[in-house]
Structure 1
Amino acid sequence: MMDGAAVEAAVGEKDAGNDAFVTKGFSGWNNKPRLDTHVGGVTSYHNAAVKRCNNLLKPRLAFRSHNESEDSANRGNFLELVKLLAEQNEKIKRIIVNSIIEEIGGDVFCLLVDESADVSDKEQMAVVLRYVNNRGELKERLIGVVHVAETTSTCLKSNIDALFSKYKLSWKQVRGQGYDGASNMRASCKRKDMIRQSQQERVKRAIGSGQISTGTGLNQEQTLERPGDTRWCSHYKTLKSLNSLFPYVIEVLQYVEKDGPNDKKRRQARGLLDYLKDFDFVFHLHMMLMILGHANSLSLCLQRKDQDILEAMSEVKLTKQKFQQIRDDGWESLLQTIYSFCEEHSIPKLDMEEEYIDRHKPRKKSNRTNYQHYRWNCLNSVIDLLLIEFNDRFGQTNSSLLTYMAALRPKDSFGDFKLESIMELAKLYPDDFDQEQLKDLAHELPIYIDNIKADERFSNLNSITALAKLMVDTNKHQAFPLVYKLLKLVLVLPVATTSVERCFSAMKIVKTILHNRIGNTFMNDCIICFVEPAFVATISDNVVIDRFQKMKNRNRRMLL
């Protein structure tokens, strides 16, 4: 459960009782009097520990977490509270958001904003700042979760202005903005227990007949995954689980169709069964599995906190090439996969040369074959939309910008370094580089590249993120301040809004159905503490007490 030092910290200084449980181990289990001696009286060391355990049990706090090791970010409620009590007198004196503002230090940053509804269906806006700290490290920090009455641009702007005013931030510091306007989605997967049971029975039969093998990690229990509000890759996982659990889903729907609680449920089950057993469903299932499967790699890449924009754009380019390849040559392999699925699950296959019949309008002539409909109207149309979206977001202007940025990349011993490209990049930031500074930068760059190439510590770098940090570690950011300023401007450009979306994951933990009356201000404070544990660890009791003392809307003041 926990080590001896943690127990002693939780209970206090060790009294005269036996410390075998926490230091030496206890070997006298067969000697009841020795146990009684260890337990002691009401105020004994043992009973004090039991009392504190009971205090955790009363609010139903879990004792364990998934990972209780020393380097775990969350070792569970008990150990985390014990750690807090043990270290409360050794904290550094700073408050979370003020510490973040101090870390920015008046420097430039990028603004990341997203919105989502909480468990009470109230729209919440999360604001994250992306910046480079004084150690050359790229950071993304949450500074607030604000309730918004509506999600119009005017309303969001006014709330961001209020937040900036509160923390004395200026729009002149902003060098990039990232917003994600994805709508909230809701999904429901019923009868999960029946799906699990059906899967277990089929796996047992298959193992008994030798159709599948056994081993560590094989044949694990599965269920339909719910697509998340803030993770597009969760939709890919949902389709994957539906594909692998297809026969079990059919069985459950057949049960609901026959023994559902009311006519409405039975009709819904019947309609779903008709569509799930149709070729049209199988085609779209596997088409989206293929498309989202390739997009999933890009999605996972963009979710990395330390991702810089050049690495992200390289992944975008590879994804575009893959989609184009699917459009040109992917039809036959997709159709073969669909036909195999239909044969396995006894679903009628369609002849691609026959006329297409719309299942919603079966009597109306379509004047096109199945091949024309499914390849050109479905597959190619979806991929064309994706490619258009990629090209719109990464057009000629953005491509030129990325070309300029690539000249700073340290990969292959700064093989992409081009002075002209870097100067063009600096000209895009007139607020940061005036004419005199541009001239100074032109003189500084040749000296910089000669110096960096001669230093073996910079020979194996692959990203701008690593380059900026190493420049600070070696004090070269002071020798080449203009180059370092340009590196920071490139680093703060937003790659994705995944850090903001993680805040909404925290919101679902902080504000639950059982705690749906939590106020907006209190929820904001709780979420910041949950998302930024490193800053929470730096706050001392004295800072909290002083802040409480200065609050004017308190009826009584603390006398400590």
Structure 2
Amino acid sequence: MVSMLLNVVGGSSQRRDLVRDINLKEMSKALGCGQLQTGTGLNQEQSLQRPGDTRWGSHYKSLKSLVDMFPTIVQVLEIVEKDKKDWKIRDQSSNLLRHFQSFDFVFYLHLMLTILGITNILSLALQRKDQDIVNAIKCVRATRLQLDELRRKKWENLLDEVYEFCDKNDISKLEMEEEYIDPQKRRKKSGITNKHYYEVDCYNEIIDWLLQKLLSRFNETSSQLLVCSAVFSPRDSFHDFNLENLMSLAKLYPHDFDSGGLRDLRHELGLYISDVRDDERISNLQILAELSQRMVKTEKLDRYPMVYRLLKLVLVLPVVTATVERCFSAMKIVKTHLRNRIGDEYMGNSLICYVEKEQMMKVTNEAVVHRFMTMKDRRFDNDD
């Protein structure tokens, strides 16, 4: 329904200008009544944010803008509803008005806005390329705790916000102790109250589902695996190095480290950390990929083979981060219906150019021209 609203309200430049003009009038009215304050950076021009397909943060921005501009949106829909030129848009506006001015919509709007507000920080943290695994896992645990607290203690707070929004925008409220009426089956008795439906069947069920998803995606084993692997980081001269955590990490790979291998690994790790901290060629590194490359160049992999084996296993873990998911998202943009016969090599090169935009900006036009001028296998027309 929100997507349909964005298509109706933002479907033409005339309606977008209408949104802007009405929003300015509402803002001027609020400033005159003292509901808004003036100042630098305040009361910036607002617009409806269109949500993306893959970024949950964009959905959060869409719902925030919808709440802030709700009176403006209602006025625009009322104007479009009276338009006699396009009966399809007129019917859509009428249905949207009926839906958006219902208690059911207001409840779900505030519920999703509350949930996405809690998970937005975690969503932004997991999208970072330079991921700090330890802080990311702590952010996951903090998000789960906040959601659990929301389920146990914040129902009344959410209901107060919904009632306040209904009073502000002249929307009919539902009494929680009255019998719930199913909009699809109005003549059939539901046997439950509005409080039971909205609190148990909606509020608790949605939060429980989300908690289960977070628990299955970031279970104790995977969290321990990521936290233990983070202590291998060479940042700040191996400041996070922890022997016991690395031994716990190795125990998660019984096929690579048997009892004898674990004993040898413990001895090697003690010598390894003393060696690399005193070696200027390694002590100033920042990421694990550089550490593995430098161990090969300095021939330390022959001196510490068990440590290097564990390091290789750790390097496999980043394939589950947001970088790979970002590549799959880019495929929807690169491989469109007009490019349905694109080859694997060409698609791979196009994805690299799209995903690694920062690196591609460093390539100059002169370098590209020189690259094509020095190519040996070039096609020539017969006229040439």
TM-score under structure 2 length normalisation: 0.78
Q: Distance in 2 between matches of 1:496 and 1:196?
A: 40
For the 8 Å contact 1:309–1:495, the answer to whether it is kept is no
Q: Which residue of 1 aligns with 2:8?
A: 190
- State the alpha-carbon separation in 1 of the partners of residues 114 and 172 from structure 2: 22
- Kept in 1, the 8 Å contact 2:330–2:351? The answer is no
Contact residue 407 and residue 422 of structure 1 kept, 8 A = yes
Q: What CA distance in whole angstroms lies between the structure 2 residues aligned with 1:558 and 1:404?
A: 65
Residues in 2 aligned to 1:349 and 1:372: alpha-carbon distance in whole angstroms: 16
Selected match of 1:346 from 139, 146, 170: 170
Q: Mean alpha-carbon deviation: is it higher for 383-392 or for 464-473?
A: 464-473
1:302/1:498 contact within 8 Å kept: no
**How far apart are the structure 1 equivalents of 2:84 and 2:95?**
13
Amino acid at match of 2:90: R
Aligned to 2:342: 520
Deviations 1:524-546 (A, max 9, x none): 54443344353672856454334
Q: Residue 356 of structure 1 contacts residue 366 of structure 1 at CA under 8 Å; is this kept in 2?
A: yes
- Aligned partners of 1:557 and 1:301: how far apart in 2? 57
The AA in structure 1 aligned to 2:363 is A
Q: What is the Cα deviation at residue 208 of structure 1?
A: 3.7
Pair 1:277–1:488, CA change in 2 (3 A): same
Q: CA contact under 8 A between 1:305 and 1:499: conserved in structure 2?
A: no
Q: Provide closer, same or farther for how the CA distance between residues 232 and 211 of structure 1 changes in structure 2, counting only shifts above 3 A.
A: closer
Query: 2:173 & 2:308 partners in 1: Cα distance?
Result: 61
Indicate the structure whose relative CO is greater, using CA pairs within 8 Å and at least 6 residues apart: 1
2:6 touches 2:48 (CA, 8 Å); kept in 1?
Answer: no
Residue in 2 that maps onto 1:214 = 38
Sort the Cα spacing of 1:332 and 1:186 in 2 relative to 1 into closer, same or farther, 3 A: closer
Which one is further off, 429-438 or 386-395? 429-438
Q: Which residue of 1 aligns with 2:268?
A: 444
The CA deviation at 1:502 is: 6.3
- After TM superposition, list the pairs within 5 Å mapping 1:460-479 onto structure 2: 478=300
Question: 8 Å contact 2:77–2:94 — kept in the other structure?
Answer: yes
Unpaired segments ≥5 residues, structure 1: 1-184
User: Would the alpha carbon gap of residues 502 and 232 (structure 1) be closer, same or farther in structure 2, given more than 3 Å must change?
Assistant: farther
- Say if 2:363 is the partner of 1:537: yes
1:362, 1:306 → 2: CA distance?
54
Q: Tell me which protein shows more helix as a share of its residues.
A: 2
Aligned match of 1:489 in 285, 299, 313?
A: 313
- Distance verdict in 2 for CA 1:344–1:465, change over 3 Å: farther
In structure 2, distance between residues paired with 1:207 and 1:233: 29
Aligned length: 365
Shift of 1:324: 0.6
Return the letter of the residue paired with 1:304.
R
Residue in 1 aligned with 2:377?
Answer: 550
Contact 1:310–1:405 under 8 Å retained in 2: no
Structure 1 position 436, deviation (Å): 7.2
Change (3 A) 1:216 1:523: farther
CA separation of 1:260/1:441 partners in 2, compared to 1, >3 Å: closer, same or farther? Answer: farther
Who is 1:361 aligned against?
185
The 1:247–1:295 alpha-carbon spacing in structure 2 relative to 1, beyond 3 Å, is: same
- Out of 101, 105, 112, the position equivalent to 1:281 is 105
- Aligned residue for 2:13? none
* AA at the equivalent of 1:383: I
- 5 Å matches for 1:286-297? 286-297=110-121
**What pairs up with 1:78-97 in 2 under 5 angstroms?**
none
Tell me what 2:73 maps to.
249
Percent of paired sites with the same residue: 44
1:446-482 Cα shifts (integer Å, max 9, x gaps): 23455678999x99x9xx9657768988999937564
1:504 deviates by 4.6
Q: Distance in 1 between matches of 2:347 and 2:4?
A: 23
Q: Find the residue that maps to 1:380 and give its secondary structure.
A: helix
* Of 203-212 and 319-328, the range deviating more from structure 2: 203-212
For residues 252 and 409 of structure 1, the distance between their equivalents in structure 2, rounded to whole angstroms, comes to: 55
From the superposition, tell whether residues 214 and 470 of structure 1 become closer, same or farther in structure 2 (CA, over 3 Å).
Answer: farther
What residue in structure 2 maps to residue 501 of structure 1? 326
Q: Contact 2:137–2:227 (CA<8 Å) still a contact in 1?
A: no
Q: Give the SS at the match of 2:97.
A: helix
1:263 is displaced (CA, Å) by 3.0
Answer whether contact 1:468 1:488 (CA < 8 A) is retained. Answer: no
Partners of 2:286 and 2:185 lie apart in 1 by 56
Listed as ranges, the gaps of 5+ residues in structure 2 are 11-15
Distance 1:339 1:499, change over 3 A: same
Looking at CA atoms only, which structure, 1 or 2, has the larger radius of gyration?
1
1:277-426 matched pairs, under 5 angstroms: 277-402=101-226, 404-405=228-229, 408=232, 417-419=242-244, 421-426=245-250
Residues 500 and 385 of structure 1, relative CA distance in 2, 3 Å threshold: closer
Q: CA RMSD in A?
A: 4.1
Summarize the Cα distance change of 1:363–1:186 in structure 2 as closer, same or farther, 3 Å threshold: closer
Kept in 1, the 8 Å contact 2:180–2:197? The answer is yes
Output the CA distance in 1 between the equivalents of 2:383 and 2:156: 75
8 Å Cα contact 2:134-2:230 kept in structure 1: yes
Q: Identify the match of residue 92 of structure 2 among 261, 268, 277.
A: 268
Partner Cα distance (1:335, 1:296) in 2: 22
Partner secondary structure for residue 189 of structure 1: helix
Aligned equivalents of 1:352 and 1:455: distance in 2?
Answer: 69
Q: SS of the residue aligned with 2:8?
A: coil
In the alignment, which residue of structure 2 is the partner of 1:42?
none
Bigger proportion of residues as strand: 1
Contact 1:226 1:238 in 2 (8 A): yes
Matched, 1:239 2:59: no
CA distance in 1, matches of 2:187, 2:259: 72
Partner Cα separation in structure 1 for residue 331 and residue 33 of structure 2: 46
